[in-house]
């Protein structure tokens, strides 16, 4: 997938992406407590490089990040009613972080 020409996110976007990372870590903790290790591992795979990406240590792409979270959502949301514990549509949160970062709050 091609990367956006976007440089490192703005400070406000960085704060919003940190909040998304926080939410993902909270969800990973919840999933592990429920024994849903495969889902927790998938979410961890999506977010583990995010702190380095958003502060310029690695390449950053809004498109790539949204697609990664979209794959996570598509894999686990259909199982929501089966009790997987899925909480957030992270792909949608990435769009908010990019376009309206001030709207993401704790």
**Residue 77 placed within a domain:** yes
On whether residue 3 sits in a domain, the answer given is no
Rounded to whole angstroms, the Cα distance separating 35 from 56 reads: 34
- What is the per-residue pLDDT across 40-95, written as a single tens digit (0 to 9) for each? 999 999 999 898 888 876 778 999 999 999 999 888 876 555 555 557 889 999 99
Half-sphere exposure of 78 (CA within 13 A, CB side): 4
Query: What is the CA 57 to chain-centroid distance, rounded?
Result: 17
Residue 102 has pLDDT above 70, yes or no: yes
**pTM, entire model:** 0.84
Token reading at 87:
């909480």
What total number of domains does the chain contain? Answer: 1
pLDDT single digits (tens) 15-27: 999 999 999 999 9
46 within domain boundaries: yes
Domain that holds residue 20: 11-101
Q: What is the Cα 15 distance to its own chain's centre?
A: 13
Taken in order 22, 80, 89, 103, the sign of the CA dihedral is negative
């Amino acid at each position: 997938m091609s990367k956006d020409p976007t440089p490192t996110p703005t400070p406000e976007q960085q704060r919003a992406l940190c909040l998304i990372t926080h939410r993902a870590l909270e969800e990973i903790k919840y999933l592990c407590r429920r024994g849903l290790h495969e889902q927790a591992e998938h979410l961890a795979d999506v977010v583990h490089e995010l702190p380095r990406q958003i502060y310029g240590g690695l390449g950053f792409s809004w498109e790539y990040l949204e697609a990664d979270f979209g794959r996570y959502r598509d894999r686990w949301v259909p199982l929501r009613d089966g009790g997987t514990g899925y909480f957030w549509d992270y792909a949608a949160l990435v769009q908010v972080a990019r376009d309206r970062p001030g709207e993401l709050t704790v």
